[in-house]
Amino acid sequence: MKKNIFIVILLILLFIVILISLISGSVKISLNELFSIFFNTKVETDSSLIIFKIRLPRIFLAILIGGTLAVTGAMLQAIFKNPLVDPFITGVSSGAAFGATIAIIFKFYSITFFAVFGAILTILFVYRLSVKNNNLNLYNLLLIGVMTGSFLSSLIMFLSAFFNKDMVKVIFWLMGDLSITDTFLLKISYIISIIIIIFCIYFSNDLNILSLDEDEAKVSGVKTEFIKTFYFISSGILTGLSVSLCGVIGFVGLVVPHIVRFFIGPDLRILIPFSFLTGSIFLLICDTIARVVFAPTEIPVGIITGLFGAPVFVSLLITRK
Amino acid sequence: MEILKLLNIQYKYPESLNNCLNNINFTVCDGETIGLIGPNGAGKTTLLKIICGLIDEFSGDILIYGKQIQKYSSIDLAKLISYIPQMDNYVFDFTVEEIVTMGRRPYTNSFGILKPYDKKIVKEVIDMLGLTKIVKRKFLSLSGGERRLTLIARALAQETKIILMDEPTNNLDLNHKIILMNKIIELNKSGKTIILISHDINLLSEYLNRIIFIKEGRVINDGTVNNVLNEKSLKNIFEIKNFFICENKITKKPNVFFIPEKEV
């Protein structure tokens, strides 16, 4: 498909999804009301408070998280030369959550810093374990990643129970939850994430070459160790930020790059920005469903992404040549 | 002119007890085509990887234009030597054009913006190897022969003096083997120095001018096809008995023929 058409479709879709997300929820707001709120910002009503204080920040959060998870997924797939991985399946999200849990329990200063640190350590751990004789074993990687993830999740729940934390909150967090909005952290995360993603796009042709074959990349002048380290750390920071904002959300990073690659091919210079946009739309849809389906009760958004993602993952695993 | 010189190359894999390469010495002159022949596990691929800078924990010296290989930056080395590995187990499905363009990496930045000259070179190598009709095709949808040609085009786009190929004719049918070897000779005539590994002794005999026999990490024999391809060296290297060597009447090159056990 022509890239220009694809980007126009995505932007229109994003706009529509934002609109739907703004008007739906436990309090229904009509489109007319929505427009009058936006054009009449001086009058403060209950509806305008809901829009500006609750729904809009949440939409911005979903856009950032969906986008960064999808971008991270696309990058991890390229480094691991494996289209079946994402931050969740490789256990990186759980690593970030574990780092954050340690920070919460022991009351360390920065939860985000520990989440980032946990994510980077987990990537390096899973990578080292799945490389044997300089070869990256595809199935080892999947198994080690999934096991690391579930081990760390269990450890998080165990520690939380041991230190008398609110288990419901912990479970919500492990399933991904976009309702906690720390707007200061959100703004900082936007700035950091966008800067990192710009750098990731800049080096992405080197990652393209690396995603085919490491030896060939080296021989054609790519500094492979630098590129790998750069993308490991970037993926760690992006995952750490997203987990410290809203917990562990699975499968966005798996499903989205797949869909985008199907339309525009595997060139990361285009795949990264398009994945960001598509990931935003995907997570925003999932979150809107999570808010609406049992309204006024909300369910963790990870449940919805899992309902979409797990079957997609299995079908990809089966149909892989 | 000497373009590549190997002096006392020794290498041992970290997990192995024995040396993989022992005291390898040879010199490659500009414009040569060299075939490396030897049993499986003789160290041929390791040797190619050392020459193109993929393995750097070896002892001895590799000189390219008289300068030690370690003194070249990775980009400068990539402008001198290209390498086409044995296997292409690609996961991501780039198009032929995208893969050939990757060969321009030593001349572009990390984002890979092409200048008009880069585009010209990419187009030229695609035309030269007859890939014009399939430039937009996805790599994984190509036949074995087309894949090989694509990877050679990529190495050509790198515009290097030396091209290393690891079993380029592997898995190709006879027709594609001949097409490929003709292309290799064409490249050689345009000034490329080519070193390739192959198990197809007759093919190398017909097409190349020099053969190096390697066994257990040592150079056993090195010289022109007519000088080194004889019964004594084949017996020694492959430890085989039932074969004979005959001259191809047209090319005057030696060819190896095998006799099944029951016929002896």
Please state the pTM of the whole predicted model: 0.90
Largest alpha-carbon pair distance within chain B?
Answer: 63
Residues of A whose CB is below 8 A from B122:
none
The confidence score (pLDDT) of residue A12 equals 95
Q: Does B161 lie at the interface with A, CB-CB under 8 angstroms?
A: no
The confidence score (pLDDT) of residue A41 equals 67
The confidence score (pLDDT) of residue A180 equals 64
Measured between CA atoms, the residue of chain A closest to residue B112 is A205
The confidence score (pLDDT) of residue A59 equals 92
Do B28 and B12 belong to one domain?
Answer: yes
pLDDT tens figures, A134-146: 667 767 888 898 9
Do B195 and B74 belong to one domain?
Answer: yes
Q: What's the Cα-to-Cα distance from B185 to each of A112, B67, B88, B178, B241, rounded to whole Å?
A: 60, 28, 23, 11, 32
CB atoms within 10 A of CB A25: 18
Of A14-28, A56-70, A170-184, give the lowest mean pLDDT range.
A170-184
How does residue B144 score in pLDDT terms, banded at 50, 70 and 90?
confident
pLDDT higher than 70, residue A1: no
The confidence score (pLDDT) of residue A133 equals 67
Residues A117 and A243: beta-carbon distance below 8 Å: no
**Contact (CB<8Å) A219/B81:** yes
B contact test, residue of A137, A212, A222, A264 with most B CBs within 10 A: A212
Q: What's the Cα-to-Cα distance from A163 to each of A100, A102, A105, A176, A180, rounded to whole Å?
A: 14, 11, 7, 21, 22
DSSP character at residue B169 = T
Do B195 and B128 belong to one domain?
Answer: no
pLDDT tens figures, A243-294: 888 888 888 998 899 889 988 989 999 999 999 999 999 999 999 998 888 8
pLDDT higher than 80, residue B130: yes
**Contact (CB<8Å) A221/B106:** yes
What is the distance in angstroms between the Cα of B176 and the nearest Cα belonging to chain A?
23
The confidence score (pLDDT) of residue A181 equals 64
For A207, half-sphere exposure in the C-beta direction (CA atoms, 13 angstrom radius) is: 29
Burial B155-168 (b: 16+ CB within 10 A, else e): bbbbbbbbbbbbbb
pLDDT higher than 60, residue A321: no
The confidence score (pLDDT) of residue B114 equals 92
Residues of B whose CB is below 8 A from A206:
105, 110, 112
How does residue A108 score in pLDDT terms, banded at 50, 70 and 90?
confident
Q: Where are the alpha helices (DSSP H) in A163-267?
A: 167-174, 183-202, 204-212, 214-219, 224-246, 252-264
- Residue showing tokens 């340690």: A102
Percent of chain A clearing pLDDT 70 (strictly above): 95
* Domain assignments of chain A as residue spans, ordered by start: 60-319
How far, in Å, CA of A130 to CA of A68, rounded? 25
Torsion of CA A9, A15, A16, A22, to 10 degrees: 160
pLDDT tens figures, A37-50: 777 766 677 777 78
What is the distance in angstroms between the Cα of A212 and the nearest Cα belonging to chain B?
5
pLDDT tens figures, B204-220: 999 998 999 999 889 99
Average pLDDT, integer, range A56-84:
92
Residue in A282, A312, A313, A286 with CA at minimum distance from that of residue A301: A286
Do B6 and B70 belong to one domain?
Answer: yes
Q: Does B56 lie at the interface with A, CB-CB under 8 angstroms?
A: no
pLDDT higher than 70, residue A54: yes
In the structure, how many helices (H) and strands (E) does chain B have? 9, 12
Q: Does B147 lie at the interface with A, CB-CB under 8 angstroms?
A: no
Q: Give the long-range contacts of residues A142-146, CB within 8 A, separation 24 or more.
A: A142/A82, A142/A84, A142/A85, A142/A89, A144/A91, A145/A85, A145/A89, A145/A90, A145/A91, A145/A92, A146/A89, A146/A91
pLDDT tens figures, B161-192: 999 999 988 878 888 888 889 989 988 998 89
Tokens at residue A221, please?
Answer: 């002048």
**Contact (CB<8Å) B91/A202:** no
Burial of B98 (0-12, 13-18, 19+ CB in 10 A): buried
A contact test, residue of B104, B110, B159 with most A CBs within 10 A: B110
Arithmetic mean of pLDDT over chain A = 86
For residue B154, the enclosing domain spans 90-159
How far, in Å, CA of B97 to CA of B22, rounded? 40
pLDDT higher than 80, residue B88: no
- Which CATH entry fits the domain spanning A60-319: 3.40.50.300, 2.60.40.10, 3.30.300.20, 1.10.3470.10? 1.10.3470.10
Do B55 and B178 belong to one domain?
Answer: yes
Of B123, B139, B159, the one marking the end of a domain is: B159
Nearest to B105 among A203, A220, A266 (CB): A220
**Contact (CB<8Å) A218/B54:** yes
How does residue A182 score in pLDDT terms, banded at 50, 70 and 90?
confident
**How many domains does chain B contain in total?**
2
The confidence score (pLDDT) of residue A246 equals 87
CATH number for position B17? 3.40.50.300
Average pLDDT, integer, range B236-244:
86
Residues 6+ apart with CB under 8 A from B143: none
Average pLDDT, integer, range B188-201:
92
Arithmetic mean of pLDDT over chain B = 90
How far, in Å, CA of B52 to CA of B163, rounded? 9
Residue in B196, B158, B190, B192 with CA at minimum distance from that of residue B177: B196
pLDDT tens figures, A198-252: 999 999 999 999 999 888 999 999 998 899 989 988 998 999 899 888 888 888 9
**Contact (CB<8Å) B83/A215:** yes
pLDDT higher than 90, residue B75: yes
Torsion of CA A192, A195, A197, A200, to 10 degrees: -120
Length of chain B in residues, anyone?
264
What is the distance in angstroms between the Cα of B20 and the nearest Cα belonging to chain A?
15
The confidence score (pLDDT) of residue B232 equals 87
Residues of B whose CB is below 8 A from A137:
none
Q: Please state at what angle helix A204-212 crosses helix A56-79, rounded to 10 degrees.
A: 40
Average pLDDT, integer, range B53-57:
88
pLDDT higher than 90, residue B145: no
How far, in Å, CA of A272 to CA of B225, rounded? 52
Of B133, B159, B185, the one marking the end of a domain is: B159
